[in-house]
Structure 1
């Protein structure tokens, strides 16, 4: 029987003092994913039930604060966990006498975050409580036990991740780990098949034919726009999930068709970097083909042979290198480079320089680049900086008006 249920009076006599009871008791509630929040409600009820524990320890209900802002967020890091950051702030302000959690892993799965919490609690005299007992982080024995619990929580997460990764890797090496593939393929049991709609297949094959003819992704897009060709799409979620839809062509869709190895019949796993930097930026870094974890050729029905896909990737790479230099905003003469937004489509205007005097030009080419449509607009300066000066005069006039306001 744990200490909380066996006798709160003994706990109060040994560790709880009046200065603790005068401050807040914070119940921290967290589950690691949205699926757990929806389907593992017993855990939620157990965590919210700690409010009753706090009341039995002597806190009135009005001084019990429940922080559940981190529901559905992993405890592997404090990044993005507003609830945990709020908890640290409340402790650092001296508002918290007791923190309650079902177990230490609810608070943090990272030793860095865990020890940060312990340091702040020890400095400001806050206690920590779980289902096993009550701890004072300023006490050596309690600090040692809390440290061990934090290490076990982090190790448990590592073991779980490794176990899941090894299981996924074994399945991927057999080519059986199927995630959501391109929309032009459909699930057929344990494999992927071409879209059963022959017109959809015809459009996909047309993409490769036109790219082979023009050698440019944008040329393919412009051809489709001129012909009025629509692209086949089967949404993976929403009201029309799985139903064939026809949408206007766009750069992203054509790029996916030309660059995804599945269209050449290959099964690929581990194309993207798993580094912390890539996860933090939320933009996966695509690895070179030699570094892919699994590559199984001729695994699925293909639109093109593998040798043609390799040639296409090389051509796309060469095309990118032609336009890789975009200049530096800091070195340009335009004052508003990267700041002006098109009032018609909402995309940022690109900065160009033309003429013998290199007059700055703000041009919106988003629709042309993405959908092959004409550019929205262009703002050309009559003299070297007249366009910037006109906008600058408005800003300076506004600042001057603010400076003339009476002080309070």
Structure 2
């Protein structure tokens, strides 16, 4: 697609039709996760001016304040009204672990008792203000059932709300304001800062299958009134929900990552079953549309995620096929050593094999990195810890039974 066409005007994502996210325990409206447009509608619905939305957003995300009584630029009558009818409540932390290498991990209990997890990975834990990347979940479990993924074996329960998505970021920031053993109730707001510098939507679930809450959450991540993160520091990862990739290109400017993992349709059908519905030709066309969008605000490259599976997708031939597949698509390729989980059918490629694969891509002119394994001591790979904390799905039970049958045969 030519990039010389007349630029089109950027149109922000439309607010969701329903703006109320109810905290069931208190029957109050949870303001966490509402976009500025949604909050403005809420304030109008309670007889207040829409500009109050900007004030409250800044208190929640820039100051870390959840108690309306501490929002001192609001009138006393408004603070009382909000205290009686609204709340700011992130999902409940039921398990957390801090790794020796600086990685932090949380398991959250969301409405209905389901569990999701979030991982915070610092680039260098010796630097307090260094890069800190938060991997956020968008769904409880995942419906895509990729054959190498621990989360996929646990099945799919439901989508997360915007409050449950944004709450993961709120808790991660708050964790730097408390002692490791303290409750988040003891956050020192005078120390509050946006310590998370990068967000990747690549935790549990497929973000584009929970489209509107994910887009609303990313709007707040980018908003100068909320987290104010750079659009290059917010990344959405998809396994290839092609129609939503086109929709995202029209609505929001964030970095895009594609969970590819195979360079041909036959192998990708096996590893990433959604490929049967949206094969590689369609996926690559959607990726090129995202990069070469006629809107000049858009995108420099996509990140290609490729998990390295011993003897499955890691040969020199596979690397050469990947070079051909990507062609002129501006790409940064991230090779991911497989992180085994109990009863997985795959092994991790050797370091020598990963580097040989990488060299072929580099020689072809691609930027290629090998992901550093972090948080091994706290099961920081997606889905590992929550899979042990609770097993709630029929698919997981069926998978476990199939393992027993295989072992007994």
Larger strand fraction of residues: 2
Would you call these one fold, judging by a TM-score over 0.5? no
| Greater RCO (CA < 8 Å, at least 6 residues apart) | 2
Q: Give me the TM-score of the superposition, normalised by structure 2.
A: 0.24
Q: Give me the TM-score of the superposition, normalised by structure 1.
A: 0.24
Larger helix fraction of residues: 1
